[in-house]
Amino acid sequence: MPDIIKLLPDSIANQIAAGEVIQRPASAVKELMENAVDAGATNIKLIIKDAGKTLIQVIDNGCGMSVIDARMSFEKHATSKIQTVDDLFAIQTLGFRGEALASIAAISQVEMKTKKIEEELGTHIIIEGSVLKEQNVIQTANGTSVSVKNLFYNVPARRNFLKSDSVETRHIIEEFIRIAMVNPGIELSMLHNGKTLFKLLISNFKQRIINLFGNQYNQRLVSVEQTTSDVCVYGFVGKPEYARKTRGEQFFFANKRFIKHAYLHHSVVAAFRELIPSDTFPLYFLFIHIDPKSIDVNIHPTKAEVNFQDNKMMYAILNSVVRKALGSHNITPSLDFEKDPAFDFSDPPKDKPIKTPTININPNYNPFNNTSQNTKTYTNFKNKNENWDTLYPEKIATSFNDINKIKPVSLTDDRGVLDINTKSTFIDNKVIQFRNQYIITSITSGILVVDQNRAHERILFEKYLNYLENNIQASQQELFPETLTFNPADYEIIKEIKDEMYQIGFRMEKFSKNSVVFTGRPADLEDLNIAESVDRMIENYRNNLSDLNQNKKTNLAKALALSAAVKKGKSLKNEEQNALLDKLFACNAPESNPDGQPVFKIIALDEIEKMFN
Ligand code: ADP
Ligand code: MG
């Protein structure tokens, strides 16, 4: 047998190593911006084209590099930030592994211009796929500009793996926000395809958060501060009433580094226990300062995870400071410090009357008139029969003989011509609601017990999927349009799913930066809490992004169904109970809800008989 082990050529080894550090455009943004912060910049500009796929440029006014350093910076394990192993345990900078520029240069076309303030001229370097193409002397501003073009141009498999522009942009915005939040002393801007997404002036922490997330955050935040001999914790937590169904506004920074830490997250959430519903997340922006010796940041290639020497102590401290902050907030609910009038136009003055919104109603409007093309209310019923359940809720009929067979039999071509005179199987039977949670009735083979919440989830899910797949757009105008403001990342999601939301029946107009006015809702969901269901759609969409089995439509139909369905505990009228059963068994898959949980059970006759033997 010949020997078979070979050393990989440098080019392949570099690409493999690069893959660990740079997974997508957002990773390059993070590394370049962190380098600018480490270089002591007070002004950093991020310029992006096509979600970073074509261009990522970071321009800073930091310390710049000498000719030799500029060339060296692209070498593997080349860093100015640590020299000895001991330094690893006293890290004050964001970078230290010396991998980022080498990795980026291995998988893109990089152009760097850099100049130290004390030097006359700067250095210009072009590197493509780790190969130096050009190096010369140029006139350039103090500081450094790095342009990364055509990321993954030489790793097609990786490039193909990138998500849509809006998804990649969202990741970039997330990284930008993380760096911006913890560096309010740095002026920052972000431009995407020529459009300014952020322009942030030097400010304090609270103003920076407000500038990133919107003015309304001024009212939402409670300050947190505690210094012990080992650690200093400060920042803000959200007032309990602003806890959201969507994750995404939870930020920990350890020594100015954004970190993910499930254990510490738990400690904050635990401090909110009993103040917020269990399925919501409090918002928090917490900065931890700790001796670099007590924290290991070298456990993850992208440094997103860290270990504290004393995790338990951190847990206890965080939990107690957050509790304390919430406690003082409860005693003095209007606690609002650092109030900057420039950012405070969210609450109207108390002595001014609030103007009630007015509405215009068209008395001649006929909701069943297809031809009017009125997009404002029940619109575009492509096929009236497809919406029969909306139009004739009390007359729905299915006729099947035995529920055990499940399939409805006499709905002509499933949902085609509906004989509204056919009597429901259930109408003659006694149907009862048990504990405001189950609908119970007798069927030939036993007793049918239906979970009302899951049943309605299934019904709505199939209905919205049908809307989405068949381009039915049934919408109902809001009497009082509701304006919701999103954080920039969520706003990107809204942009991604807006067409589908339109088809389900939502009508939205852009209000101002990151705000949307909801002028219409799905036609038959009078009681829908718009904020909650939109939150849930965002959350669901975000969580399922990587799950290829769940396409966008299924995803949204499911999210809306879950948030709009009648909950347990809701008392239903007898007709509603009947309608629920009828609609359920007209579904394609009545057995389970969209999460795959069983919707009904049958207590078989022979089981009942056994009980009495
Ligand atoms: P690390 O940040 O881990 O040291 P990088 O590959 O990101 O590794 O950068 C290598 C070196 O290049 C840094 O240690 C720093 O000395 C220098 N460098 C990179 N970017 C800049 C910048 N924007 N301004 C000044 N120096 C920089
Ligand atoms: Mg770096």
User: Following DSSP, what letter does each residue of 372-404 receive, concatenated?
Assistant: G--TTSS---S-GGGGHHHH-GGG-----S-GG
Integer-rounded Cα radius of gyration of the chain: 30
Hunting for tokens 């829908």 — which residue is that? 528
Residue 106 token pair: 């291995």
The token duo for 570 is 């809701």
258 strand-pairing partners: 253
Sheet holding 515-522, edge to edge: 475-485, 515-522, 507-512
- pLDDT, tens digit, 9 for 90 and up, residues 169-210: 999 999 999 999 999 999 999 999 998 889 999 999 999 999
Residue given tokens 């394990």 in the structure block: 77
Among 30, 35, 303, which is best to mutate for testing ligand 1, by the most ligand atoms less than 8 A from CB?
35
pLDDT of the residue at 412: 29
Average pLDDT rounded to a whole number, residues 344-371: 42
Cβ of 563 closer than 6 Å to ligand 1, yes or no, is no
Looking up tokens 């008395």 gives: 363
pLDDT > 90: what percent of the chain?
39
Q: Kindly report the protein residue whose alpha carbon is nearest to atom 19 of ligand 1.
A: 35
| Residue whose structure tokens are 């440029």 | 57
Q: What are the helix (H) ranges across 183-294?
A: 205-213, 217-220, 262-271
58 in contact with ligand 1, CB cutoff 6 A:
no
Cα separation, 247 vs 53, whole angstroms: 27
488 Cα–ligand 1 center, Å: 29
In this prediction, residue 92 carries a pLDDT of 83
- DSSP for residue 343: G
Atom of ligand 1 nearest to the CA of 144: 23
**Quick one: tokens of 362?**
């068209």
Model pLDDT, residue 541: 77
Please write down the HEC assignment for all residues of 431-452. EEEECCCEEEEEECCEEEEEEH
Going from the Cα of 219 to the center of ligand 2, the distance in angstroms, rounded, reads 36
Half-sphere exposure of 52 (CA within 13 A, CB side): 31
What gap in Å lies between CA 460 and CA 564, rounded to an integer? 8
Name which of 192, 191, 199 is nearest 166 in CA terms.
Answer: 192
Question: Among 44, 79, 91, 127, which residue has the most ligand 1 atoms within 8 Å of its CB, making it the best to mutate?
Answer: 79
Q: Is 187 in the pocket of ligand 1 (CB under 6 A)?
A: no
Question: What does the pLDDT read at residue 140?
Answer: 96
Identify the residue with better confidence: 125 or 346. Answer: 125
> Cα of 19 to ligand 1 centre, how many Å?
19
| Ligand closest in space to the Cα of 100 | 1
pLDDT of residue 550: 56
pLDDT recorded at residue 157: 86
Give the pLDDT of residue 123.
Answer: 98
pLDDT at 117: 95
237-246 pLDDT tens trace: 999 888 887 7
- Please indicate whether residue 96, judged by its CB atom, sits closer than 6 Å to ligand 1: yes
pLDDT cut 70: percent of the chain above it: 82
Q: What is the DSSP letter of 308?
A: E
pLDDT, tens digit, 9 for 90 and up, residues 369-417: 433 333 333 333 333 333 323 322 232 223 223 333 333 322 222 322 2
By most ligand atoms within 8 Å of CB, the mutation choice from 38, 72, 119 for ligand 1 is 38
CA of 147 to the centre of ligand 2 (A): 15
Work out the average pLDDT over 86-97: 81
- Closest ligand 1 atom, residue 74 Cα: 6
Average pLDDT over residues 140-153: 97
The model's confidence at residue 544, banded by pLDDT at 50, 70 and 90, is low
Residue 392 CA: distances (Å) to CA of 219, 384, 542: 45, 11, 36
The pocket of ion ligand 2, defined by CB under 5 A, consists of 35, 95, 100
Contacts 24+ apart (CB under 8 A), 159-166: 159/53, 162/24, 162/25, 162/53, 163/24, 163/545, 164/51, 164/496, 165/50, 165/51, 165/53, 166/51, 166/492, 166/495, 166/496
Q: Which of 79-93, 144-158, 340-354 has the lowest mean pLDDT?
A: 340-354
Q: Give the model's pLDDT for residue 330.
A: 61
Per-residue pLDDT of 242-271, as tens digits, reads 888 777 789 999 999 999 888 999 999 999
CB of residue 36 inside a 6 A radius of ligand 1: yes
Atom of ligand 1 nearest to the CA of 102: 6
* pLDDT reported for residue 189: 96
The per-residue pLDDT for 512 is: 76
Q: Is 35 in the pocket of ligand 1 (CB under 6 A)?
A: yes
**Cα 214 to Cα 345: distance, rounded to the nearest angstrom:** 11
The confidence score (pLDDT) of residue 428 equals 53
Asked if pLDDT for residue 328 goes beyond 70, the answer is yes
Ligand 1 site, residue 100, Cβ cutoff 6 A: yes
- Which ligand has the nearest atom to the CA of 83? 1
pLDDT-wise least confident of 118-127, 416-425, 593-602: 416-425
3-state secondary structure of 157: helix
Region of poorest pLDDT, from 309-313, 404-408, 520-524, 560-564: 404-408
Residue 385 confidence (pLDDT)? 34
Rounded to the nearest whole angstrom, what is the distance from the C-alpha of residue 37 to the centroid of ligand 2?
9
The mean of the pLDDT values for the chain is 80
Whole-number Å distance, alpha carbon 75 to ligand 2 midpoint, is: 12
The CB of 473 under 6 Å from ligand 1? The reply is no
Distance between Cα 92 and ligand 2 center (Å): 13
For ligand 1, atom 20, which residue shows the shortest CA distance?
35
The secondary structure of residue 136, as a DSSP letter, is: E
CA of 23 to the centre of ligand 1 (A): 19
Residue 454 has pLDDT above 50, yes or no: yes
Residue 333 is predicted with a pLDDT of 34
Residue type, 442: S
By alpha-carbon position, which residue is closest to atom 23 of ligand 1? 36
Compute the average pLDDT of residues 286-315.
84
Q: Is the CB of 101 under 6 A from ligand 1?
A: yes
More confident residue, 365 or 550: 550
Residues 73 and 81: their CA atoms lie apart, in Å, by 11
pLDDT score of 532: 84
Verify whether ligand 1 is closer than 6 Å to residue 39 (CB atom).
yes
Q: Does the Cβ of 81 fall within 6 Å of ligand 1?
A: yes
Question: How remote is the CA of residue 555 from the centroid of ligand 1, in Å?
Answer: 42
Q: Tell how strand 55-60 and strand 131-138 pair up.
A: unpaired
- Of residues 567 and 42, more confidence is placed in 42
CB of 60 closer than 6 A to ligand 1? yes
The alpha carbon of 390 and the centre of ligand 2 are apart by a number of angstroms equal to: 58
Strand partners, 530: none
- CA-CA distance, 176 to 44, in Å (whole number)? 11
Q: Is the CB of 144 under 6 A from ligand 1?
A: yes
pLDDT at residue 300 tops 90: no
Q: Which residue has the least CA distance to atom 27 on ligand 1?
A: 35
The lowest-confidence range among 148-162, 182-196, 315-329, 331-345 is: 331-345
- Smallest Cα–Cα separation from 444: which of 401, 410, 485? 401
